[in-house]
Amino acid sequence: MKKTLSIGEYLIQQLHAHGARHVFGIPGDYVLGFYDQLSKSKLVRIVNTCDEQGAGFAADAYARVRGLGAVCITYCVGGLKVANSTAEAFAEKSPVVVISGAPGMKEREKNPLLHHKVREFDTQKKVFEQLTAASTVLSDPQTAFQEIDRVLHACLRYKRPIYIELPRDLTFAPGILYHRPKEIHEESDVETLRSALAEAEVMINQAKKPVILADVEVHRFSLQDTLLRLVRKTNIPVAATVLGKSVIGEQHPFYLGVYEGALGRDDVRRYVESSDCVIMLGAFLTDINLGIYTARLDPLRTIYANSEKLSIRYHTYENVRFKDFMRGLLKLRLRHRALGKIPTPPPAAAFRTKPGGVKITVRRLFQRLNSFLTENMMVVVDVGDALFGATDLFIRHRTEFLGPAYYASMGFAVPASIGAQMANPKLRPLVLVGDGAFQMTGMELSTSVRYGLNPIVIVLNNFGYGTERHMQDGAYNDVLLWHYSRLPEIFGAGRGFVVETEAELDEALAEAKKWEKSFCLLDVQLDPRDRSPALERLAERLALRL
Ligand SMILES: Cc1ncc(C[n+]2csc(CCOP(=O)(O)OP(=O)(O)O)c2C)c(N)n1
Ligand SMILES: [Mg+2]
């Protein structure tokens, strides 16, 4: 006889069915029952972090790499701590399932003052309505399975987080007996798709110098192969945005580099901005993607296609799915062009360490890291010069660059590396993080130790909030100097290095490469006024405009 699943069991089964094998979080009494179900289930593994926000960032990175991530926390005290990481996942399109325990439905009668309650029982739900694509309270066993299906569908359809609240007295309640998750397919409007493609075909074929600008949604919607085929078919070169960096392997002969207005390389900027047909695929026109509004892209010369919008020049097309448009482009009669001269990134191998006591600079650090990177690494960056500098890094594989390049919450990188490595254990994370950001979530290295992960963490130690120093300085941009390299003593594992010179950087990187057992941390001490070439370029170009 068929056994009826409980609400908790069905939720676990569906997370697994959509690719999640880990759930990140911290339990509390409102969610202990579900934690028990999780730990008994063979389908997913619990990963306990030090802090809920760390779990949120880890789940976000996991989702970016694997296609679905999950974080599970207790009511309000845990839930509201993942509000920020969920906001980031929403803004940057990462499909994270937020599961929160909650007071039981029976307990809510007469509105008692139960611990962790803020104002009303639905206060947390209301907060998450603003931060997610869909939300639900599983308050009724009759509809719980359908509700799980509904919100999971929204998560995968929009590649954005969802919120599921599980009242503790219903975790073990059986749902309905004969339930089959409904497959939901959404189709494009055929005629609209056809006329959009017809306009695109003419525009691309008439263009003298078309260029593709690929962004994060190409990855989120698994369209990288479609992109590659389009590029091979037409010989149209590709630039990426910083949010979409590594959406195409950066060694690809058609790859120009990161386009980021004045923040990016100048030759890439000129190439893209002088194009008469910029095909923006899965792109978001955020200010960081556009180099803090220094980019100049004329709508008359653009095809703008993503999951929310399709416009070609000034025409907007409704009800066309991004996937169908991208696949449709492949079927068009687009001409195969001779590949002209395109800008290529400066060669990585040219780096020579200066011997003796030559002090390390941000520029040289990134150049050195460029030759350190291998196919078996992924780069996870935090906000600050770690992110700006990393735009010039050369990522071997596609999708193996993660950074909060739009919402830009500090504290992402260390916990994100946990989720990223669990999602793809074949790749060793190279984490680039400022000292300020490290002080926010660096303790999650403890979680890396606990679960046997081995990131190489580069702390860009410029004694404070460097990015802000360049805007306006004051004692509020200082942080306390920590002995970062001694953290292995605290965690009882890992290796730490102090790096002040180029030679020391070389040695530490060589050691880190060999030490695969646990994390390595390099405390790279930089001049507080030093900055990456990308930040330099931005400052110079902005100065020209003043
Ligand atoms: C959570 C959060 N708080 C504050 C900020 C504002 N902010 C942007 S960059 C920055 C300084 C970052 O310092 P650090 O991590 O040391 O990197 P650096 O700029 O020195 O390279 C701050 C405080 C932010 N982006 N996120
Ligand atoms: Mg700093």
- 120-157: pLDDT as tens digits: 999 999 999 999 999 999 999 999 999 999 999 999 99
**Helices in 241-357 by DSSP H: which ranges?**
266-273, 322-331
Compute, in angstroms, the gap from residue 328 CA to the centroid of ligand 2. 46
For the chain, what percentages of helix, strand and coil (3-state, to nearest 5) are there? 40, 15, 45
Between CA 25 and CA 54 the distance in angstroms is 8
Between CA 283 and CA 281 the distance in angstroms is 5
User: What percent of the chain is predicted at pLDDT more than 90?
Assistant: 75
- The residue whose CA is least distant from atom 22 of ligand 1 is 465
456-461 and 520-525 strand pairing: parallel
Rounded to whole angstroms, what are the CA distances from 195 to 267, 436, 542? 34, 51, 41
Average pLDDT over residues 233-260: 88
DSSP state letters, 115-182: TT--SSTTHHHHHHHTTSSEEEE---TTTHHHHHHHHHHHHHHHT--EEEEEETTTTTSB--SS--PP
| 8 A C-beta contact, residue 204 and residue 266 | no
Task: Output DSSP code: residue 447.
Answer: H
| 8 A C-beta contact, residue 515 and residue 495 | yes
Is 232's pLDDT higher than 90? yes
CB atoms within 10 A of CB 171: 23
| 8 A C-beta contact, residue 70 and residue 20 | yes
Rounded to whole angstroms, what are the CA distances from 192 to 62, 196, 197, 306, 326? 35, 6, 9, 15, 14
User: What does the block give as tokens for 122?
Assistant: 């639905």
The pLDDT confidence band at residue 287, using thresholds 50, 70 and 90, is: low
Determine the atom of ligand 1 nearest the C-alpha atom of 439.
Answer: 15
- The residue whose CA is least distant from atom 6 of ligand 1 is 410
| 8 A C-beta contact, residue 215 and residue 243 | yes
**Given ligand 1 and candidates 81, 431, 467, 529, which is best to mutate, with the most ligand atoms within 8 Å of its CB?**
467
Residues 365, 369, 370, 371, Cα dihedral to 10°: 120
Residues at CB less than 6 angstroms from ligand 1: 383-386, 408-411, 434-437, 460, 462, 465-468
Identify the pLDDT of residue 200: 97
Q: Which residue has the higher pLDDT, 304 or 184?
A: 304
The pLDDT confidence band at residue 353, using thresholds 50, 70 and 90, is: confident
Determine the atom of ligand 1 nearest the C-alpha atom of 386.
Answer: 21
* Cβ contacts of 194 within 8 Å, gap of 6 or more: none
Q: SS3 letters for 67-121?
A: CCEEEEECCCCCHHHHHHHHHHHHHCCCCEEEEEEECCCHHHCCCCCCCCCCCCC
Determine the atom of ligand 1 nearest the C-alpha atom of 464.
Answer: 16
How many distinct helices (H) and strands (E) make up the chain? Answer: 20, 19
Q: Which ligand lies nearest to the CA atom of residue 531 in the structure?
A: 1
The pLDDT confidence band at residue 244, using thresholds 50, 70 and 90, is: confident
User: What does the block give as tokens for 511?
Assistant: 């050691």
Most confident of 282-286, 342-346, 386-390: 386-390
Global pTM? 0.94
* Cβ contacts of 544 within 8 Å, gap of 6 or more: none
Q: Which ligand lies nearest to the CA atom of residue 381 in the structure?
A: 1
Q: pLDDT per residue over 395-454, tens digit each?
A: 876 658 999 988 999 999 999 999 999 999 999 999 999 999 999 999 999 999 999 999
**Given ligand 1 and candidates 363, 410, 524, which is best to mutate, with the most ligand atoms within 8 Å of its CB?**
410
